[in-house]
Amino acid sequence: MSSERLVPHNPATGQPLDPVDCTTPEGVREVVARARSAQRAWAATAADARATQIRAVAKAIGDHADALARSISDEMGKPIREARSEARSIAARVESFVRAADQALADEDGVENGIRVRVRWRPLGVVGVIAPWNYPVATPSNLLLSALLTGNAAVFKPSEYTPHTGALLHRLYAETLPEGLVGLVQGAGAVGAALVASDVDMIAFTGSIATGQAIMREAAATMKRLVLELGGKDPMLVLPGADLQAAARHAADEALRNAGQVCVSVERIIVHADVAGEFTRRVAELVRAVKPGDPRDESTTFGPMASARQRDLVLAQLADARSHGATFVIEGQAQGPGYYLTPSVVTDLKPEMTLVKDETFGPVVAIQVARDVDEAVEMANDTRYGLGASVWGAPGPELDAVADRIEAGMVGVNRGLSTAAGGPWVGWKMSGLGYTRSVTGMRHFLQPQSQARRAE
């Protein structure tokens, strides 16, 4: 460990938490080397035996859901009930990961021109897992489970905002699995960069586009495999024929969940002019009922933002929108102690506003009005992002056709995506490179190898 230390802060109070030592560059290399030694035996372990051990990890995470939830709340301000369900979600989804890995690992055989080709799917080796702070248990676990079930070792770097949660989560993996198989390194961007530059074979990263680009540049030197899950500017289209109350509920819930700090969420709403007034009135009514509270209180649904930096970024976007003529139906206020920012509902948005162009990642219901369906689709696609989206309207082929025109990796039709299972977790355009979940997502953690023989 180095003399450098991380000092996370409790976002509800602004008070510092216990410091955590950063891993030195030498320490990063050692952790990676230990993971590499442990990986050989793990890759040679039968897939069903690996799955049994991974199920035990998921159970351990569920058994420690209360401790993990307290740590998540203290480090990034998530309301305790949501934090607990985040920790419990791993056990609920482990079976779908096991099934997908099982299918992804299956050999494929074919015969052509007298040659039999067998495609074997082989683990890559050691996967560096670099995670953000907004879902500090669920997000790294998605990447760790994928890496481990496919026979890889992993080295995990939690966000510098959630190092204690990261350490606790790591302990649950490390205590259940063979020694050294899952390593931990702690620190901010420099430690992440050291992990990318180290002897790992792949980086599985979730975070911002800017960091994803830095990782891609660094990884080019050794042609490391990459899965990059990046930011979004998820549009929600509300069209005539939509159940406006259900749409308003979805808009308020998903724009404000986790104080708006969710990657697949509602970042902007594009509402058809015919229903814009009624929809906006209903959303505003729901948002007015949202009251900020102490994240450790079981009844709290809306907590502080995770950091002063994140709050200030959102405040800057709101100030920019104001200066370009936006209308504030509800104006959010920064409140202390801690990094609270109450929700905003903003309309009359223009394409040049940062609130429209850039990811906000904060508690803002941002509403744009479109003259017709074509304009709504155009506005939805007029972005460098392409993570999630949803379309709301009268169910049927016309609405399905609108969904088909949206340039996003995940599109909900009259619903969000939060519980959709089985499909890939995937971004389009600059929202990601490669993807996870599903059989094809699992294959990003594997190297295909063609073995050719004369057919008998």
User: Which spans of this chain sit near ligand NAD (rule: CB under 6 A)?
Assistant: 130-134, 139, 157, 159-160, 188-189, 192-193, 196, 206-208, 211, 214-215, 229-232, 263, 359, 361, 387, 427, 432
Residue of 229, 254, 267, 359 marked catalytic? 229
Q: Which amino acid is at 169?
A: L
Which of 157, 268 has the CB closer to ligand NAD? 157
Which of 239, 269 has the CB closer to ligand NAD? 269
Which pairs with CB-CB distance under 8 Å and at least 24 residues apart come from 314-320? 314/260, 314/341, 314/360, 314/361, 314/362, 314/363, 314/364, 315/341, 316/354, 317/353, 317/354, 317/355, 317/358, 317/360, 317/362, 317/364, 318/344, 318/346, 318/355, 318/364, 320/353, 320/354, 320/355
Spatial separation of the C-alpha atoms in residues 218 and 203, rounded to whole Å: 11
Can you tell me whether residue 246 is helix, strand or coil?
A: helix
Spatial separation of the C-alpha atoms in residues 272 and 449, rounded to whole Å: 50
Measured from the CB of residue 218, what is the shortest distance to ligand NAD in angstroms? 7
Which of 198, 347 has the CB closer to ligand NAD? 198
Q: Which amino acid is at 7?
A: V
Helix (H) / strand (E) containing 155: strand 153-157
Q: Which stretches of 77-226 are DSSP H helices?
A: 80-104, 138-149, 163-176, 189-197, 209-219
Measured from the CB of residue 288, what is the shortest distance to ligand NAD in angstroms? 27
Measured from the CB of residue 316, what is the shortest distance to ligand NAD in angstroms? 15
Measured from the CB of residue 168, what is the shortest distance to ligand NAD in angstroms? 16
Residue number with the smallest Cβ distance to ligand NAD:
192
Question: Would residue 44 be called left, alpha or beta, if left means φ above 0 and alpha means ψ between -120 and 50 degrees?
Answer: alpha
Q: Which amino acid is at 109?
A: D
Active site residue 359: no
Which of 167, 188 has the CB closer to ligand NAD? 188
**Count of H-run helices and E-run strands, the chain:** 15, 20
CB 8 within 8 A of CB 164: yes
Residue-wise DSSP of 19-54: -EEPPPHHHHHHHHHHHHHHHHHHHHS-HHHHHHHH
Spatial separation of the C-alpha atoms in residues 112 and 206, rounded to whole Å: 40
Which of 7, 115 has the CB closer to ligand NAD? 7
Measured from the CB of residue 311, what is the shortest distance to ligand NAD in angstroms? 13
Measured from the CB of residue 433, what is the shortest distance to ligand NAD in angstroms? 11
Which of 149, 305 has the CB closer to ligand NAD? 305
Measured from the CB of residue 328, what is the shortest distance to ligand NAD in angstroms? 24
Measured N-to-C along each axis, helices 65-76 and 163-176 cross at an angle, to the nearest 10 degrees, of 160
Which of 134, 165 has the CB closer to ligand NAD? 134
Residues known to be catalytic: 229
